[in-house]
Structure 1
Amino acid sequence: MDIPWVFYLVRFIDIALALVVAGLAVWAFVDCLTKAPVQFQRAFKRTKGFWLALTGGSLAFTVFTLLLRPSLFVLLIAGTAVGVYLADVRPAVGLESKGPNSW
């Protein structure tokens, strides 16, 4: 029994997932670039350089993987690192940018 459409479906899902992770990585990297280093210290998070390296590395690995062949393992690692930044660090650092008396 020949079912080549399954391979095309799996390839399409891998590419779609890689594009989503790449988009999130671009968003996280650009957001991290716009923040001041002191905001990370005030929020008691790792340094700006650490998060730039982590989000930039995730972006680089995702794009590199997308150009060759999407690897689910690499995408899960990159997506987790970017997700931690977007879900935990970005809100904490964003609160520090508004100042102590703003709501």
Structure 2
Amino acid sequence: MISVGLDLVFWVLSIIAFGMSAWALFHATRTPARAFAVTGKQTKKLWLIILGLAALFSFASAVGYFGIGLGQLNIFAIASVVAAGIYLADVKPAVSEIGKGGNQGPYGPW
């Protein structure tokens, strides 16, 4: 009984990991390559490769390709979460600020 509940928890975590990786990949594809260069982050091409692999591995984990059952967390799924987390926490805020002109005062937009 506990095993079934634990399998369900790991499956939900795998689905969340895939969603996080897919969201990061979607944002990276919509961001202009110039924004990555201006902020001093890695290139857009490298981030697309990293996030594409992260989405692939987290999807494979969610559907149970690597394990016996669904939702088996493994080193690839954990690496996917780390890669997507780094992108969403560090790169996304930096590149999102590029191109947002407008009236910026010393305390924010007016």
Q: TM-score range with shorter-chain normalisation?
A: 0.7 to 0.9
Structure 1, unpaired ranges of 5+: none
Structure 2, unpaired ranges of 5+: none
Q: Aligned partners of 1:99 and 1:36: how far apart in 2? A: 15
Q: What is the CA-CA distance between 1:86 and the residue it aligns to?
A: 0.2
Q: Aligned partners of 2:46 and 2:103: how far apart in 1? A: 29
Tell me the alpha carbon deviations over residues 23-53 of structure 1, each in whole angstroms, 9 at most, x when there is no partner. Answer: 1111100000001111100010000011111
Q: Aligned partners of 1:99 and 1:39: how far apart in 2? A: 13
Q: Aligned partners of 1:52 and 1:14: how far apart in 2? A: 26
Q: What is the CA-CA distance between 1:57 and the residue it aligns to?
A: 0.5
Which is helix-richer, 1 or 2? 1
For normalisation by structure 2, the TM-score amounts to 0.82
Q: Which amino acid aligns with 1:86?
A: L
Please state whether the residue corresponding to 1:96 is helix, strand or coil.
coil
Alignment of 1:66 with 2:68, yes or no, is no
Alignment of 1:87 with 2:83, yes or no, is no
Q: Aligned partners of 2:99 and 2:23: how far apart in 1? A: 18
Please state whether the residue corresponding to 2:98 is helix, strand or coil.
helix
Q: Which amino acid aligns with 1:97?
A: G
Q: Aligned partners of 1:54 and 1:99: how far apart in 2? A: 29
Who is 1:39 aligned against?
Answer: 35
Q: What is the CA-CA distance between 1:97 and the residue it aligns to?
A: 2.6
RMSD: 1.6
Segments ≥4 residues shifted beyond 6 Å: none
Match of 1:30 among 20, 26, 31: 26
* Contact 1:14/1:72 (<8 A) preserved: no
Q: What is the CA-CA distance between 1:100 and the residue it aligns to?
A: 8.5
